[in-house]
Amino acid sequence: MRRTDRFAQFSIAASKLALEDAGYRIEDGDDVGVWIGSALGGLAFAEEQHDRYHLQGLRAVKPLLAIAVFGGSATTNVALEFGIRGPNIANSNSCAAGTVAIGEAFRAVARGEVRAALAGGVEAPLSPLVFGAFALINAMSTRNDDPGRASRPFDAGRDGFVMAEGAGVFILERYDDALRRDARIYGEIAGFGLTGDAHHMTVPLPDGSSSARAVAAALAEAGVAPDEIELVDAHGSSSPLNDRTETIAYKRVFGERATRIPIAATKGQHGHALGATGVWEAALTLLAMRHETIPPIVNLERADPDCDLDLSRAARSARPRVAVSNSSGFGGINAALVLRAPSP
């Protein structure tokens, strides 16, 4: 607790829960890696310490500030805690960071670079400066009189996201290894796609082509045809431009079938934890398959006519076997995963 901030503590706690849930014991730390993404790293902690510095001088600042705020603080502290000596990779790919971490770890395991990986995202951004910065670019909802209903993906009245904090970590391992130790398998990561808009720092490419290419690349790597997808977990940030552009991207990939594939968009329930959210959403997609239930899109009062997708205010019974989990981030970063339900 003394040598870490909230950001790293979330990473360690989520990793511990993941290892416990998987029943996974790290016996050879050389053959395990850590991939964790975060948009802002320890920025909120840095802001707090900056205030201390101004009010009380340098002696009031935590001695380990310099090594607590950089993005790699998450992965390196996890490695220290659990004795992991394989690849240690942090990324700051904005709101797609967690999805990118999972995708890169998936490929490392598939290539045989490691036998297993801890992969996920973490964010602890709740501070006045961070809130102010995102408010300046009109990214967050101003529905302050009704905060519980402020995040409303694909709704005609959406005006931005509600910021959240937290972490999520997956244990990724070879399928044969998981079978050998009789692990509880939530699903398979089958493909990963990553593209950039090269268009604008805060505005998505209007024609959705780069986002569509990320989804298409994930499908291609998975060997899955577009008409095999039975569930799409949308980024659904509740921002006016993103939700509309995301709809266009799905129509590019899935054609006329895009309006009939069930959509999951859960940020109205858990908020937007920036780099961590894509991990939560991938996990929720796997759980939707496991429990044969597609979660509702809360706060959807009147769907935007430009977002003419298969949106539902209520939970739905379904048995999707193959899904896409999609993420987007500032700077025009697009990341997508193809997920399969576990084989019987």
Tally of residues, the chain: 344
Catalytic residue selected from 54, 199, 272, 307:
272
In this prediction, residue 181 carries a pLDDT of 94
Instruction: Please state, rounded to an integer, the average pLDDT across all residues of the chain.
Output: 96
- Cα distance between residue 93 and residue 98, in whole Å: 8
pLDDT band at 301 (very low <50, low <70, confident <90, very high): very high
- Cα distance between residue 109 and residue 99, in whole Å: 16
- Please tell me what DSSP assigns to residue 126: -
- Cα distance between residue 167 and residue 150, in whole Å: 22
> For residue range 62-119, what is the model confidence (pLDDT) as tens digits?
988 998 888 899 999 999 999 999 999 999 999 999 999 999 999 999 999 999 999 9
In this prediction, residue 47 carries a pLDDT of 93
In the residue annotation, 272 being an active-site residue is answered as: yes
66 CB contacts (<8 Å, ≥6 apart)?
none
If DSSP codes are grouped into helix, strand and coil, which group holds residue 32?
strand
Q: What is the largest CA-CA distance in the chain?
A: 63
Percent of the chain with pLDDT over 90: 95
In this prediction, residue 195 carries a pLDDT of 98
**Structural domain 6-180, CATH architecture:** 3-Layer(aba) Sandwich (3.40)
Catalytic residue selected from 50, 54, 95, 200:
95
Place of tokens 């910021």: 163
Sorted by where each begins, the domain ranges of the chain are 6-180, 188-340
CB 14 within 8 A of CB 121: no
pLDDT band at 120 (very low <50, low <70, confident <90, very high): very high
Extract the runs of DSSP E, i.e. beta strands, from 221-343. 231-233, 263-264, 293-294, 316-317, 322-329, 333-340
> For residue range 16-74, what is the model confidence (pLDDT) as tens digits?
999 999 999 999 999 999 999 999 999 999 999 999 999 999 999 998 899 888 889 99
| One fold for 6-180 and 188-340 | yes
In this prediction, residue 328 carries a pLDDT of 97
In this prediction, residue 71 carries a pLDDT of 87
Nearest to 310 by CA among 257, 274, 268, 241: 257
214 CB contacts (<8 Å, ≥6 apart)?
193, 194, 195, 326, 334, 335, 336
Catalytic residue selected from 235, 270, 291, 307:
235
Task: Calculate mean pLDDT across residues 241-256.
Answer: 97
In the residue annotation, 199 being an active-site residue is answered as: no
In the residue annotation, 235 being an active-site residue is answered as: yes
pLDDT band at 344 (very low <50, low <70, confident <90, very high): confident
Task: Calculate mean pLDDT across residues 330-337.
Answer: 97
In this prediction, residue 1 carries a pLDDT of 82
Task: Calculate mean pLDDT across residues 264-285.
Answer: 98
Question: In Å, what is the CA distance from 142 to each residue of 147, 274, 299?
Answer: 9, 18, 15
pLDDT band at 3 (very low <50, low <70, confident <90, very high): confident
> For residue range 189-231, what is the model confidence (pLDDT) as tens digits?
999 999 999 999 999 999 999 999 999 999 999 999 999 999 9
* Residue type for position 43: L
> For residue range 151-174, what is the model confidence (pLDDT) as tens digits?
999 999 999 999 999 999 999 999
CATH of the domain spanning 188-340, picked from 3.40.47.10, 3.30.56.10, 3.40.50.20, 3.30.70.2660: 3.40.47.10
In this prediction, residue 201 carries a pLDDT of 94
**253-273 in b/e burial notation, b at 16+ Cβ within 10 A?**
bbeeebeebbbbbbbbebbbb
In this prediction, residue 309 carries a pLDDT of 97
